[in-house]
């Protein structure tokens, strides 16, 4: 079946008073129908900017080149009027802070009814029914009563559910979730991830889950793309990536994840020493060279391209295999 989203050579730059920042550099991936892709990387790795580029939501000083096809149609850099035909109806994005998407001064009912009126042409009665059903679907208790509440009357986890319900109103093909659980405590985090997994199963919706935490993608995503300093350094099915990482950065991330089964009380977690490079002055060779325990001469001289390293796997590293 053809991909929902095909991204090729996506490059995003920002003009700043201190010079140009290269936020995403020749990134490519696909997302199939009903598939979930985890997009993992530290803050500043470019993971969010990729999806803001796709959605036409970049800050004014940003520009993107390359290609983004939604169901075969090129959508990168379309004018806002044309992009609005896709946004909400077919591609929806949710953020860490629900208040980015919810208006604090309007009741949930008014916000949902407006979306359904505008995008689906529903009358108030039908929109009300659909909105309440969507709140029920995301697990809001007493949905009919709470439909007429303001966002601040919900707890953090419930507000996140309301935002997910808002984004699902138009039944998008692809939900882009940017750190949707970062601000929540672990119990609520697990509930929201379970909710996304259930919605994916029940609605057949594809999901792009953007996170700095590899642990978050483990239960939900079939494939993972690992980003570092604006580049995709490893792409792989989730199972093989967790069992046998092929890029030194992925390996470092996995070693820095707490594992309850292995962590003794006094055992310290590994960390990746050093800092990511300055995106205004990237090295000519491998962007991970300054932090890589495997670095050798060629790494500093030559940028590693993405190459196959197993079934459905790609990595950007000169090494044949990790010891």
**Contacts with ligand SF4, residue ranges (CB under 6 A):** 248, 286, 288-289, 292, 294-295, 299, 304, 317-319
Q: Which is nearer to ligand SF4, 140 or 319 (CB)?
A: 319
The label of the residue with tokens 């039908």 reads: 126
Q: What does the angle CA 75 – CA 77 – CA 79 come to, to the nearest 5 degrees?
A: 90
Query: What distances in angstroms separate CA 228 from CA 24, 96, 221, 290, 292, one per listed residue?
Result: 9, 20, 19, 13, 12
Q: Can you tell me the distance from the alpha carbon of 247 to that of 288, in angstroms, rounded to the nearest whole number?
A: 10
Q: Which is nearer to ligand SF4, 87 or 315 (CB)?
A: 315
Map residue 270 onto helix, strand or coil: coil
Q: In angstroms, what is the minimal distance from the CB of 210 to ligand SF4?
A: 22
Per the CB < 8 A criterion, the answer to whether 140 and 109 are in contact is no
Contact residues for 38 (Cβ-Cβ < 8 A; gap 6+): 209, 211, 214, 216, 217, 220, 221, 223, 224, 225, 238
Q: Which is nearer to ligand SF4, 44 or 277 (CB)?
A: 277
Q: In angstroms, what is the minimal distance from the CB of 285 to ligand SF4?
A: 7
Q: In angstroms, what is the minimal distance from the CB of 88 to ligand SF4?
A: 39
Q: Can you tell me the distance from the alpha carbon of 193 to that of 256, in angstroms, rounded to the nearest whole number?
A: 21
Q: In angstroms, what is the minimal distance from the CB of 313 to ligand SF4?
A: 15
Q: In angstroms, what is the minimal distance from the CB of 237 to ligand SF4?
A: 20
- Per-position b or e across 80-104, b if 16+ CB within 10 A of its CB: eeebeebbbebbbbbbbbbeebbee
Q: In angstroms, what is the minimal distance from the CB of 316 to ligand SF4?
A: 7
Q: Which is nearer to ligand SF4, 195 or 309 (CB)?
A: 309
Per the CB < 8 A criterion, the answer to whether 59 and 14 are in contact is yes
Q: Which is nearer to ligand SF4, 168 or 317 (CB)?
A: 317
């Amino acid at each position: 079946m053809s991909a929902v989203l095909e991204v090729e050579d996506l490059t995003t730059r920002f003009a700043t008073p201190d010079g140009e920042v290269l936020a995403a550099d020749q990134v490519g991936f696909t997302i199939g129908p009903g598939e979930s892709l985890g997009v993992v990387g530290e803050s500043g790795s470019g993971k969010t900017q990729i999806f803001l580029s796709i959605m036409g939501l970049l800050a004014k000083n940003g520009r993107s080149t390359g290609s983004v096809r939604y169901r075969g149609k090129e959508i990168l850099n379309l004018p806002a009027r044309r992009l609005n035909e896709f946004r909400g109806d077919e591609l929806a994005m949710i953020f860490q802070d629900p208040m980015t998407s919810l208006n604090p001064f309007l009741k949930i009912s008014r916000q949902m009814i407006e979306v359904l009126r505008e995008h689906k042409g529903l009358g108030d009665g039908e929109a009300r029914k659909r909105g309440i059903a969507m709140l029920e679907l995301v697990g809001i208790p007493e949905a009919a009563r709470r439909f007429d509440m303001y966002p601040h009357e919900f707890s953090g986890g419930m507000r996140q559910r309301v935002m997910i319900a808002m984004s699902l109103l138009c039944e998008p093909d692809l939900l882009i979730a940017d750190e949707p659980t970062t601000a929540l405590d672990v119990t609520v985090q697990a509930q929201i991830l379970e909710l996304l997994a259930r919605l994916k199963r029940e609605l057949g919706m594809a999901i792009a889950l953007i996170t700095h935490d590899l642990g978050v993608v483990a239960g939900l995503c079939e494939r993972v793309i690992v980003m570092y300093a604006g580049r995709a350094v490893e792409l792989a099915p989730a199972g093989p990536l967790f069992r046998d990482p092929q890029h030194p950065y992925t390996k470092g991330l996995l070693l820095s994840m707490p594992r309850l089964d292995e962590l003794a009380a006094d055992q310290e977690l590994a960390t990746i020493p050093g800092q990511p490079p300055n995106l205004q002055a990237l090295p000519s060779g491998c962007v991970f060279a300054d932090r890589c325990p495997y670095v050798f001469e060629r790494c500093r001289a030559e940028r590693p391209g993405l190459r196959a390293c197993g079934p459905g796997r790609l990595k950007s590293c000169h090494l044949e295999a990790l010891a």
